[in-house]
A and B are shown apart, each in its own frame.
Chain A
């Protein structure tokens, strides 16, 4: 007996099944994860297409976090915070959360020090981007990478 046709049929079925599975899984993933395009769009919305300079911003995130539901986030910016030279706003963005924005804060010369901390949710291991807008209209950025062992959004289904 010839084995080849049966093997081919099996392969065909496996391939068809795989294709079907891929078709089902793909849209769900795309819906759940903001992609770099969404991240760039969110950053452009803030900067208005202005040049992003690297530096001056310090992003304080843990290199590894066991729980994506509460990840410490600290952002500070080198600035004298005087009436003429201060940080106007700080924005933090995520690469792989369902939405690119994490937090946006407005500051003024009365802040004295451009430094904030909060706690964020991360869906997956990813790179965090912080963008600071200065009073002279320039934008500064810094990125940090966080490894997440258990992402937010996935666990504890009610």
Chain B
């Protein structure tokens, strides 16, 4: 299981725009590099990252080889109700990771 770091404010007021920061450990091998003997290193990247808030998708990012290793993505959302964020990463070679974070909205 790849290590993921999530930063979501623990508490927010209803209607506030909050920033969510995410990072997952992944090599993001671009597929354009070669070994010293000239063999191409096959591509191995995270292709899709999604975030849902109480079951509804609020953000999705299609990642390409031009994203750095250990993809770091930040985005915003409106705090509407207390609940959970579910973060999902999927990628080449069957890579899949999920992480959740809770938020209390007052």
**A→B interface (CB under 8 Å):** 32, 69-71, 94, 97-99, 101-108, 110-122, 152-153, 157-158
CB-based nearest A residue for B75: A116
- Beyond A101-B64, A111-B77, list 14 extra A-B contacts (CB 8 Å): A102-B67, A103-B64, A105-B60, A107-B59, A107-B75, A110-B77, A110-B78, A111-B58, A111-B78, A120-B67, A153-B30, A153-B32, A157-B34, A158-B35
B30, B63, B72, B80: the one contacting A110 at CB < 8 Å is B80
- Best-surrounded residue of B53, B61, B62, B75 (most CB of chain A within 10 A): B75
- Contact A111 B76, CB 8 Å, known A98-B32, A103-B63, A158-B33: yes
CB-based nearest A residue for B35: A158
Interface status of B41 (Cβ within 8 A of chain A)? yes
With an 8 Å Cβ cutoff, the count of chain B residues facing the other chain is: 32
Residues of chain A within 8 A (CB-CB) of B76 are 111-115
Q: Name B's interface SS.
A: strand
A118 to B23, CA, bound (A): 10
A95 to B66, CA, bound (A): 12
A–B Cβ pairs within 8 angstroms, 7 of them: A69-B68, A70-B69, A104-B61, A116-B73, A121-B66, A157-B33, A157-B35
Cβ A102 vs Cβ B33 within 8 A: no
Residues of chain A within 8 A (CB-CB) of B101 are none
Residues of chain B within 8 A (CB-CB) of A120 are 66-68
